[in-house]
């Protein structure tokens, strides 16, 4: 897999171009520059939303993701004018791709068809950039054929979707080991009893229970041999946890109150 750095056309030295010096015309390649003055807004584009620019500035201060803007051979910005403004304000390297012949039509298409990145898009990007946490994440996901959501929750349920998409997913070796055991547990139940273990409430509950030292997964599995019909996906996490608790406590002399143990987690 090519990394971002391997496809970026780099000059022999850091660019410090004057406004009169033309930028590189490497069509459909990723280039970069510090000369912001040669770029201009295309007539007919939407007005710049300063609130959006400020949000991007704050995000870039936290972590600068090297996402290229699209321009035409006239250096008119087709897609990415808000990123351009934020990058210029912070004096960061501006990554751009020259799209020959693009104009107002392509600009309108970019504005109307743009989609947010999916979890898999983020994963592929971070792996290409060499982020070891996402590389290990991807290894687990490929090994057990799990979804991005299920893998994230099992490996580190404290990481939010926003943190994951911004490249901030992390996990310790212990979390990796526990997460893999949890995935094996869920995949095993799904295969043996045909139970959908991929729903969010069930994933979240079992991920929380991995942190509860009083919950014995082997005991629960033994109860499932004759109570598996009582385990099914619910809409709410509280209902799912109550269901798991009922199965776990079946004929137990000392019932375990899982709702108390996990309600603040």
- Digit-coded pLDDT (tens) for 198-257: 999 999 999 999 999 999 999 999 999 999 999 999 999 999 999 999 999 999 888 999
Residues 172 and 2: their CA atoms lie apart, in Å, by 27
* Residue 106: exposure state from Cβ atoms within 10 A (0-12, 13-18, ≥19): middle
Answer whether 10's CB lies under 8 Å from 32's CB: yes
Residue 173 tokens, joined: 């070796």
What are the boundaries of each domain within the chain?
Answer: 4-113, 116-192, 199-265
Answer whether 210's CB lies under 8 Å from 258's CB: no
- Digit-coded pLDDT (tens) for 27-40: 778 888 999 999 99
What is the reported pTM?
A: 0.60
First-to-last CA distance in the chain?
38
Tokens 């791709």 — which residue? 97
Tell me phi and psi for residue 249, to 5 degrees. -85, 0
CA 110, distance to chain mean position in Å, is 22
* Nearest C-alpha neighbor of 185 from the set 220, 211, 229: 220
More confident position, 140 or 166? 140
Mean pLDDT over the full length of the chain: 85
Centre a 10 Å sphere on the Cβ of residue 52 and count the other Cβ atoms it contains. 14
Rg (CA), the chain: 25
Residues 103 and 29: their CA atoms lie apart, in Å, by 18
- Could you please state the CATH topology (level 3) that the domain comprising 4-113 is classified under: 3.90.1530
């Amino acid at each position: 897999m090519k990394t971002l750095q391997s496809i970026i056309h780099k000059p022999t030295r850091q660019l410090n171009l004057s406004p009169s010096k033309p930028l590189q015309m490497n069509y459909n390649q990723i280039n970069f520059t510090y000369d912001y003055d040669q770029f201009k807004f295309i007539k007919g584009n939407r007005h710049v939303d300063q609130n959006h620019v400020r949000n991007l500035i704050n995000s870039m201060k936290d972590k600068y993701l090297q996402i290229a803007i699209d321009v035409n051979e006239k250096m008119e910005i087709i897609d990415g004018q808000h990123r351009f403004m934020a990058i210029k304000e912070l004096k960061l390297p501006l990554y751009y791709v020259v799209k020959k012949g693009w104009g107002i039509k392509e600009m309108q298409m970019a504005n109307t068809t743009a989609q947010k990145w999916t979890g898999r898009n983020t994963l592929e990007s971070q792996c290409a950039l060499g982020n070891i946490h996402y590389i290990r994440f991807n290894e687990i996901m490929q090994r057990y054929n799990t979804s991005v959501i299920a893998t994230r929750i099992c490996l580190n349920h404290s990481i939010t979707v926003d943190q994951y998409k911004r490249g901030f997913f992390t996990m310790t070796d212990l979390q990796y080991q526990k997460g893999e055991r949890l995935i094996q547990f869920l995949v095993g139940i799904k295969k043996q009893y045909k139970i959908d273990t991929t729903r969010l409430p069930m994933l979240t509950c079992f991920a929380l229970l991995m942190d509860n030292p009083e919950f014995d997964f082997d005991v629960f599995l033994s109860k499932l041999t004759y109570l598996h019909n009582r385990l099914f996906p619910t809409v709410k996490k509280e209902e799912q946890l109550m269901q798991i608790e009922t199965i776990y406590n079946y004929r137990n002399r000392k019932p375990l109150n899982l709702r108390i143990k996990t309600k603040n987690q």
